[in-house]
Amino acid sequence: MKNAKSSAVAEKAALVQTAAHETAHAHAHNHEHGEGHDHGPSRAASPEAALVLAEEYCRERGEKLTPIRRKVLELLLTSGRATKAYSLLDDMRQIHPGSAPPTVYRALDFLLSAGLVHRIESINAFTVCHDLTQCQHGILVVCQQCGNVTELHQPKLRQALVAQIEDAGYRLASEEIELKGLCAACQALEAEAGAVKATADGV
């Protein structure tokens, strides 16, 4: 009887986890389309429209968004969250089987230098700037569980933080300020898992 109960609890936990991951995906999708957050035209537009913006921006800078650079940017746009370089490489190999690590890293270096993407140091991953072509180097809030990233554009708050950091004798290693956290979808998953565990324990 206990095994049957444990099996039922495990099944419910699996269903909760699946639903939460779907919620996380929807949450990331909402970020991609700018729902609930005003992050500029690139987030409100489709990935295709964002790519057009990026190409125009590069042309204005006298640079070129080559097919490889464009594809890496597109992969990050469709991902909707911070993505590690090796995951991007795996995705590229699905499209171009001969893709090598230096190809992806060179593309990422270009996108970083152009201000089109951010490197999330805390999880060693990359994410598209929420304001393509108008990067403001804000404060990045990074979900340590699913990799979702939200940019907070609060210039006064950032300036105050930087001032405090410099007063303490430090210099920022990068333009971005990262804060670690747990997004709403992952909090919901955690709460549901806790509820399932409590039920299993007979609380």
Report the run of H or E that residue 120 belongs to, with start and end. strand 117-120
| Widest distance between CA atoms in the chain | 71
What's the pLDDT at 130?
75
Q: Name residues whose C-beta falls within 8 Å of residue 179's C-beta, 6 or more positions apart in sequence.
A: 139, 140, 141, 142
pLDDT tens across the length of the chain (203 residues): 444 444 443 443 333 333 334 433 333 333 333 333 333 334 446 888 889 999 999 999 899 999 999 999 999 999 888 899 999 999 999 998 888 999 999 999 999 999 899 898 888 899 988 776 666 667 889 998 888 888 888 889 888 999 999 999 999 887 788 899 999 999 999 999 988 888 887 75
Q: Is the pTM of this model over 0.75?
A: no
For the chain, what are the domain ranges?
A: 2-200
Label the pairing between strands 177-181 and 139-143: parallel
- Assign 185 to helix, strand or coil: helix
Contact 39, 131 (CB under 8 A): yes
Residue range 7-55, pLDDT digits in tens:
443 443 333 333 334 433 333 333 333 333 333 334 446 888 889 999 9
Give the DSSP H or E segment for 37. none
Tens digits of residue pLDDT in 170-179 = 998 877 888 9
Indicate the Cα dihedral angle 26, 30, 33, 38, nearest 10°: -170
In CATH, the number for domain 2-200 is 1.10.10.10
Rounded alpha-carbon distances, angstroms, from residue 170 to 162, 166, 167: 9, 5, 7
C-alpha distances (whole Å) from 136 to each of 154, 176, 177 are 10, 9, 12
pLDDT of residue 10: 40
Question: Left (φ > 0), alpha (ψ -120 to 50) or beta: where does 118 sit?
Answer: beta
